[in-house]
Amino acid sequence: MKKITILFCIASLFSVSAYSQILKPVTWSYAAKKTSATEATVYIKAVIDEGWHLYSQTVKDGGPVKTTFAFPASKTYTLVGKTIEPKPITKFESTFKMDVSYFQNSVVFQQKVKLNGKNVAVKGSVEFMVCNDKQCLPPETVEFSIPVK
């Protein structure tokens, strides 16, 4: 009887996990374009599912987790300035009791780099948080490597 109960519990766990859905409302894509022999611009695009918000890099403390890019030091490239973003939507969100800036549908972030070598790949990560009108997902970090050709 004990074996049947254990098998039933295991089978129940598998059936529940098969029906649970992992939410991934943001899809990231990457590209790079040389602007000269020694410079390039890296494009980091987020496509955001309908009804979800991806937060700006400029969210103030006390709000949602802002989008943050990290680029480790490299001998093959040097960052030129900060990662730029287009103008976000800014609205009061009662969840955070403050004005927050965010993007809907899609957004393209840009980072200029000075190339110090050939066969450069710009590596880094982006930490971000998304919310809809019912829930916020925990912050997530995605790593990337973008070849510059």
DSSP-derived secondary structure for 45-73: EEEE-TT-EEE-TTPPTTSSPPPEEE---
pLDDT exceeds cutoff 70 at 16? no
- Mean pLDDT, the chain, whole residue set: 88
Superfamily of domain 25-148: Thiol:disulfide interchange protein DsbD, N-terminal domain (2.60.40.1250)
pTM: 0.84
pLDDT digits (tens, 9 = 90+) for 19-30: 456 889 999 999
Burial of 34 (0-12, 13-18, 19+ CB in 10 A): middle
pLDDT band for position 17 (50/70/90)? very low
Q: Could you tell me which of 44, 19, 23, 45 has the C-alpha nearest to residue 131?
A: 23
The arithmetic mean of pLDDT across residues 118-122, rounded, is 92
The arithmetic mean of pLDDT across residues 47-52, rounded, is 97
- In angstroms, the CA 36 to CA 17 distance is 51
